[in-house]
Structure 1
Amino acid sequence: MKVKEKIKKYSQEQLLKFEDELKKEQKEKLYNQINELDFSYLDELKNNQTIDKGKITPIKAMTINEIEKNKSKYEEIGIKALQNYEVGTLLLAGGMGTRLGSDNPKGMYNIGKTKDVFIFQRLFENLLDVVKKCGKYIPFFIMTSEKNHKVTTEFLEGKNYFGYDKNFVKFFVQEMAPCVDLKGKILLESKDRIATSPNGNGGWFNSLLNNIEAKEMLEKYNIKWLNVFSVDNVLQKIADPIFVGATINGNFEVSSKVIRKVDPFEKVGVMCNKNGKPSIVEYIDLTNEMAVETDENGERVYNFGVVLNYLFNVDTLYKIKDNKLPVHIVTKKVEYINDDGVLVKPSEPNAHKFEMLCVDMIEYCNSCLPFEVERKKEFAPVKNKTGVDSVESAQNLLEENGYKL
């Protein structure tokens, strides 16, 4: 579709308001961006209220006690898969450290006390523990965003990937979505550039496939499983052989590390079935009765929260990659230029951003293993500067687990 046709179809003529003022290369840049961006996100402004909450029922988790009984068996299966390059790891690192008071990517945040200990460093070191155990490097994909790709790659190259073999590390950039004002008009951040934001962590597999080098590594090693994890949990085990082995042994299409909730109403996504298929539902979608519901043993049935550490079967990912994920609309403050070409820095939320979430991919899988891990040993998120899930709480948990900061 030609640029002007596309603009007319979506009633976004304001994007070319300053066209006559642009130099040839600026105009080309803007036209290319219009061509590349997916304007169909705008349709979600009409459709968003129809996301199906479905019928929610419990799903059985593999508890720590059950895992312990078969630990050696699962570990053996997992190590063999890792040694055969059947497992790749994929870090979702598109975010910035804004809530931590940093202008850098979140992974560059330094959580050390007496020495430098970067979030990226902790994740690479956790993965290196598995490399030592199985004697082989593990293919490592890192998803960045337009806003942090350059600084992320330069930082990790400068740190020599914290001792990881760079030949096993491939970067790719997550796709972007346009930012629109509250009336549905796409904003310009400058006269020759549309305001955009990352399209959430749900589009990671298609973004990987759109990157030649990343796709080549996926195919070169014939990777069968991808362990997808978030950047902010500095205590998580990555490519955990026991987790891998339990998933393969049970022939699951996906598995998710889960932790027991500290109380029935903890604000975490909960593993369950929805309309008979595995799903993760937000805490706000659980009624009070469901949150406290127990089984015949007195155990709460909606008691396991997710930590954004999943193991996906790659064949399944190929099957579901064209399925349309729900688009979540969030309202945020977005800088833009007004009709006079003047930059506006809003003090209140003024724009919609469009996001797809990794958790929604679970619903397209036919089977899922919720795999319980010990909170104090595998869950130390760094989301805030102080308080709950903060730098300080993560530092305390790392020190309790014997890490020197």
Structure 2
Amino acid sequence: MTVSSALFTEAQLEALKAKFQQAGQGHVFTFFEQLDVKEQEALFQQLSELDVQRLNQIYTKAIQGAEAAAQNQAASLEPLSEQVFDSVLKASSSTLNDWETIGLTQIAQGKVAVILMAGGQGTRLGSSAPKGCYDINLPSKKTLFQLQAERILRLQTVAAKYATDPNSDIVIPWYIMTSGPTHQPTYDFFRANNFFGLKEENIIFFEQGKRGLSVDRKYISMMINGYLLGTLPCLTMDGKIILETKSKVAIAPDGNGGIYAAVQNKGVIDDLKKRGIQYSHCYCVDNCLARVADPVFIGYCVSKQTDCGVKVVGKAMPEEPVGVVCVRDGRYGVAEYSEISAEVTEMRNPDGSLMFGAANIANHFFSTEFLERVPTFAADLEYHIAKKKIKYTDLETGEQVVPKSNSGMKLECFVFDVFPYANRMSVLEVDRKDEFSPLKNAPGSGADCPETSRRDIVAQHVRFIEKAGGKLVGDNVDNFELLQFEISPLVSYGGEGLEDLIQGKTITVPAVIESVEELVRLAQ
């Protein structure tokens, strides 16, 4: 017998049951009669907000896409053409300077913003705080957020030289996308640190998967239909909704592709247009080497009249577990490492380089016009299948099962899923050692962990000094994992401005250089 509820009537409940039964998902009500009133209301509310027909469509399309990719990999995948691919490793110094000048000019004109995807927690790092708050044990003890904030500050100073009005205030607005668990802690962290020297009004925090006070009408249907909402139900391998408990559907984040709905329904695009922003650099918080608002990348994309651009690095080896940017069925996209056969992975160009070696590093350029256009094709985007160990309630016994092997799937959409819809796509290869060092794994794991992030930043700063004609002396100068040396981004964004100060001079370590004055004092 159904418990009496103020949330729904008997007729409403029966209508909802019929809807799910018709969709082949009626099993979600298996234990409904056993629940108390609060549990019934919670499950009714959760199911009422889900368009089960749309969910079935997403599942079917994802399965079809995965099967098609598996059956026809070699024929459907093509490497990038020279028309859309360039490399900073091969470009001349004059070309790089031209791109940088264009980028800095755009920044000086107030046309460039930064969008940071910062919704992740440092769970695998042993921290419940936002990942951007994590201290990778640099000599300065700076967090990822602080490093990135200081890069913006420095770039605003450098770009000021390209302003037509020497008294103009150069601003790179920073839009920080959070998640439910990280939103308030992220804001509190910035406020406690006085926004790291940036003006508070130029840092805009917005939460993925949560409606704001002002919702773009173009996105309402997709949000209600469970599309780009931030989470989706987990499914069995044959597409059935998984009950985590008797009164709760198992749900999971639906990938970082939710950024497109978030920038719409949280007013980000409106703010970009209000500020006159034409281009945005979008990246993930966990890359400690991310060149925030990189003027070379911005200038390159602007020079190509790009509406959607991406940075890549060369794959370290064929079996490296990274997605690659390529052409799929005649359209630009990313093939995940799990979607590419060993045969295709090993294919090489005449010069010996990997044919499919443009590794995606979640580092993007978007025109504001492109971000505005996403709603016109969002319903056509495909979801990706991620097979996972998902807790479920046995429908026969009612007992919760914690599986030891993959028991179901999560459906995810990603930032790169919009690539096929770009009018002008551009791909820029950059140097891995200078621009890509992700923080993903637990301390001590040996790869993509706090120790490697710290090492890669220290090594980069040593290269800055050596390229400028300087030299380090002291303890551990050849061991970047132990070396106590660091240069604040406030002193140099990418090695610029150091040559005149340290050429032919030495710096004794340990040393943490926070200002030009300190650098001059230490250089002997």
Q: What band does the TM-score fall into relative to the shorter chain?
A: 0.7 to 0.9
- 2:157 counterpart residue number: 132
Deviation at 1:329, TM superposition (A): 1.8
- 1:165 counterpart residue number: 199
Aligned runs of 1:15-26 on 2, under 5 Å? 15-16=28-29, 17-18=31-32, 21-23=35-37
Would you say 1:141 and 2:175 are equivalent positions? yes
Aligned runs of 1:3-402 on 2, under 5 Å? 3-4=16-17, 6-16=19-29, 17-18=31-32, 21-23=35-37, 30-39=43-52, 40-51=54-65, 52-53=68-69, 54-60=76-82, 61-64=85-88, 65-66=90-91, 68-135=93-160, 136-168=170-202, 169-174=204-209, 175-182=230-237, 184-189=239-244, 193-212=248-267, 214-283=268-337, 285=340, 288=343, 291-295=346-350, 299-321=353-375, 322-323=377-378, 324-335=380-391, 345-385=402-442, 386-402=445-461
Deviation at 1:361, TM superposition (A): 1.6
For residues 50 and 98 of structure 1, the distance between their equivalents in structure 2, rounded to whole angstroms, comes to 33
Aligned residues: 402
For 2:205, the aligned partner's letter is K
For residues 326 and 57 of structure 1, the distance between their equivalents in structure 2, rounded to whole angstroms, comes to 21
**Do the aligned residues in 1 keep the contact of 2:312 with 2:430 (CA within 8 Å)?**
yes
For residues 234 and 355 of structure 1, the distance between their equivalents in structure 2, rounded to whole angstroms, comes to 25
Larger C-alpha radius of gyration, 1 or 2?
A: 2
For residues 18 and 59 of structure 2, the distance between their equivalents in structure 1, rounded to whole angstroms, comes to 21
**Do the aligned residues in 1 keep the contact of 2:260 with 2:374 (CA within 8 Å)?**
no
For 2:87, the aligned partner's letter is T
For residues 356 and 118 of structure 2, the distance between their equivalents in structure 1, rounded to whole angstroms, comes to 29
Deviation at 1:377, TM superposition (A): 1.2
Coordinate RMSD, CA, aligned: 3.1
Deviation at 1:166, TM superposition (A): 2.3
**Do the aligned residues in 2 keep the contact of 1:331 with 1:350 (CA within 8 Å)?**
yes
Deviation at 1:400, TM superposition (A): 0.9
TM-score (norm 2): 0.68
For 1:329, the aligned partner's letter is I
For residues 305 and 355 of structure 2, the distance between their equivalents in structure 1, rounded to whole angstroms, comes to 23
Deviation at 1:258, TM superposition (A): 1.7
Pick closer, same or farther for the CA change 1:216–1:35 going to 2, 3 Å: farther
Q: What are structure 2's unaligned runs of at least 5 residues?
A: 1-11, 70-75, 161-169, 210-229, 462-485, 488-511, 513-524
**Do the aligned residues in 2 keep the contact of 1:77 with 1:245 (CA within 8 Å)?**
yes
Deviation at 1:229, TM superposition (A): 0.8
**Do the aligned residues in 2 keep the contact of 1:172 with 1:208 (CA within 8 Å)?**
no
Deviation at 1:398, TM superposition (A): 0.7
For 2:381, the aligned partner's letter is L
**Do the aligned residues in 1 keep the contact of 2:58 with 2:382 (CA within 8 Å)?**
no
For 2:430, the aligned partner's letter is V
**Do the aligned residues in 2 keep the contact of 1:278 with 1:366 (CA within 8 Å)?**
no
Deviation at 1:14, TM superposition (A): 4.8
Cα deviation per residue 1:49-92 (whole Å; 9 max; x = unaligned)?
A: 32154241332221223263223322222123223332222122
Q: What are structure 1's unaligned runs of at least 5 residues?
A: none
For 1:396, the aligned partner's letter is R
Structure with higher RCO (Cα < 8 A, 6+ apart)? 1
More displaced stretch, 45-54 vs 310-319 = 45-54
**Do the aligned residues in 2 keep the contact of 1:37 with 1:176 (CA within 8 Å)?**
no
TM-score (norm 1): 0.86
**What's the % identity of the aligned pairs?**
29
Pick closer, same or farther for the CA change 1:4–1:145 going to 2, 3 Å: farther
For 2:206, the aligned partner's letter is F
More displaced stretch, 231-240 vs 273-282 = 273-282
SS in 1 for 2:106: helix
For residues 179 and 280 of structure 2, the distance between their equivalents in structure 1, rounded to whole angstroms, comes to 20
